[in-house]
């Protein structure tokens, strides 16, 4: 959407995300007496009840919006993969939701769910390799001989940044991940390595993909790749990947909600705690499935999710919460300028990106009615 400048945007947002992830974690320990438990608590300690509500709203948009996006992607790809049946995309979405519900309900904490991320990483590596292979094979494809490559499309930059910010949306689970780490003091090195690895994967897919398909590139890129057995393997892999990734975000939301309503063994008893937790989590996955069926437009939903939630949670809130809780006077002028730049980019991308994404979703709804 943004042209070749998207490569630079990807690298810049990587650095910005690593920086704000480090500031965010410092906020957890700001008072030197005890550790805060969540992003919401950081917002409450920084700005009281308004801060709590603001963080809760944007945080919820990600931890529920991410799985909704995954359900849309998985359902759409399943429909394209299994063409021999009359099962609709919405039905496939519900089937995927049922599969995701099993580990989501059965496993209680992120420490238990985290093992699934290992399979997700392996799936990502395979998918990147398949995307690169397909892009290289299509370089000589006459269908893409006339594609256009823009250096920069200024009007699309806010939406571009918003969409790319999805790459670094892990800050909604950072607190739980750091809490489960054996050596929490290694956080800065861990998050830098993790986000840099993400950037490498995205660059490996984006550069050959845009080089080959230009303005004809689809979201997801699987729509462009050669229709052979390897691409079908890629579709299966990405379905597995999103199904394994969804419980991580959902568990993060469920843990916060269960803590809010005091669903604990000490309060409810072992059996009733399990009953309450099962009902809550089945309700959550049900709501996600219903929304995914209502707004089944992957690319547009991705842009909206990135703009509305990620830009705010990744680029804006960590810095303003840090300034409020710890202060800014110890920063040098160039650090303050860097922080101001990040916040400005986040705000502009969030506002314009959300407006553009909502317009695109509206157009998709209208086109569906016409067709």
DSSP 148-190: ---S--GGGHHHHHHHHGGGGGGGGTHHHHHHH-S-GGGHHHH
Share of the chain above pLDDT 70, in %: 92
Nearest Cα to Cα of residue 280 among 299, 302, 261, 303: 261
Q: What is the pLDDT of residues 234-272, one digit of tens each?
A: 888 888 888 888 888 888 788 878 887 877 777 777 788
Torsion 122-128-131-134 (CA) sign? negative
User: What is the spatial distance between Cα 73 and Cα 18, in angstroms, rounded to a whole number?
Assistant: 27
Q: What is the pLDDT of residues 38-67, one digit of tens each?
A: 888 999 999 999 999 888 888 887 788 888
Determine the distance from the C-alpha atom of residue 54 to the mean position of all C-alpha atoms in its chain, rounded to a whole number: 19
pLDDT at 299: 62
Q: Which residues of the chain have pLDDT under 50?
A: none
DSSP 296-354: --HHHHHHHHIIIIIIIIIIIHHHHHHHHHT-STTS-HHHHHHHHHHHHHHHHHHHHHH
pLDDT at 342: 94
CATH number for position 285: 1.20.1740.10
Nearest Cα to Cα of residue 239 among 348, 148, 126: 126
Tally of domains in the chain: 1
Segments forming the whole domain that contains residue 38? 5-370
pLDDT at 114: 64
pLDDT at 371: 60
Q: What is the pLDDT of residues 293-314, one digit of tens each?
A: 887 666 666 666 667 777 888 8
Nearest Cα to Cα of residue 249 among 120, 78, 95, 161: 120
Nearest Cα to Cα of residue 220 among 162, 135, 292, 299: 299
pLDDT at 207: 94
Q: What is the pLDDT of residues 318-334, one digit of tens each?
A: 999 999 999 888 899 99
Q: What is the pTM of this model?
A: 0.80
User: What is the spatial distance between Cα 245 and Cα 239, in angstroms, rounded to a whole number?
Assistant: 10
pLDDT at 59: 82
pLDDT at 113: 63
């Amino acid at each position: 959407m943004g042209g070749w400048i998207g490569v630079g945007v990807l690298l810049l947002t990587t650095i910005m995300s690593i920086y704000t992830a480090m500031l965010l974690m410092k906020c957890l320990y700001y008072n030197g007496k005890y550790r805060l438990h969540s992003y919401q608590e950081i917002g409450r300690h920084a700005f009281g009840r308004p801060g709590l509500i603001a963080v809760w709203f944007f945080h919820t948009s990600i931890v529920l919006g991410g799985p909704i996006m995954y359900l849309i992607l998985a359902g759409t790809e399943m429909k394209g993969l299994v063409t021999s049946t009359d099962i609709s995309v919405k039905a496939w979405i519900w089937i995927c939701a049922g599969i995701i519900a099993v580990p989501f309900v059965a496993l209680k904490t992120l420490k238990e769910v985290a093992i699934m991320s290992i399979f997700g990483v392996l799936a990502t590596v395979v998918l990147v390799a398949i995307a690169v292979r397909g892009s290289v094979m299509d370089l000589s494809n006459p269908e893409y001989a006339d594609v256009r490559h823009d250096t920069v499309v200024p009007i699309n930059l806010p939406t571009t940044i918003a969409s790319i910010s999805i790459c670094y949306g892990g800050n909604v689970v950072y607190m739980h991940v750091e809490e489960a780490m054996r050596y929490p003091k290694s956080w800065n090195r861990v998050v830098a390595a993790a986000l840099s690895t993400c950037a490498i994967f995205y660059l490996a897919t984006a550069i050959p993909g845009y080089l080959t398909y230009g303005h004809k590139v689809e979201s997801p890129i699987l729509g462009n790749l050669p229709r052979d057995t390897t691409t079908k393997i890629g579709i299966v892999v990405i379905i597995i990947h999103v199904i394994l990734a969804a419980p991580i975000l959902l568990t993060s939301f469920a843990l916060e909600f269960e803590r809010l309503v005091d669903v604990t063994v000490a309060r409810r008893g072992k059996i009733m705690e399990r009953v309450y937790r099962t009902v809550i989590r089945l309700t959550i996955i049900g709501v996600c499935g219903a929304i995914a069926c209502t707004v089944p437009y992957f690319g547009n939903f991705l842009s909206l999710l990135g703009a509305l939630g990620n830009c705010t949670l990744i680029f804006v809130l960590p810095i303003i919460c840090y300034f409020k809780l710890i202060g800014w006077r110890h920063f040098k002028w160039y650090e303050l300028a860097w922080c101001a730049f990040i916040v400005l980019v986040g705000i502009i991308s969030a506002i314009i990106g959300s407006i553009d994404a909502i317009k695109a979703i509206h157009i998709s709804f209208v086109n569906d009615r016409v067709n």
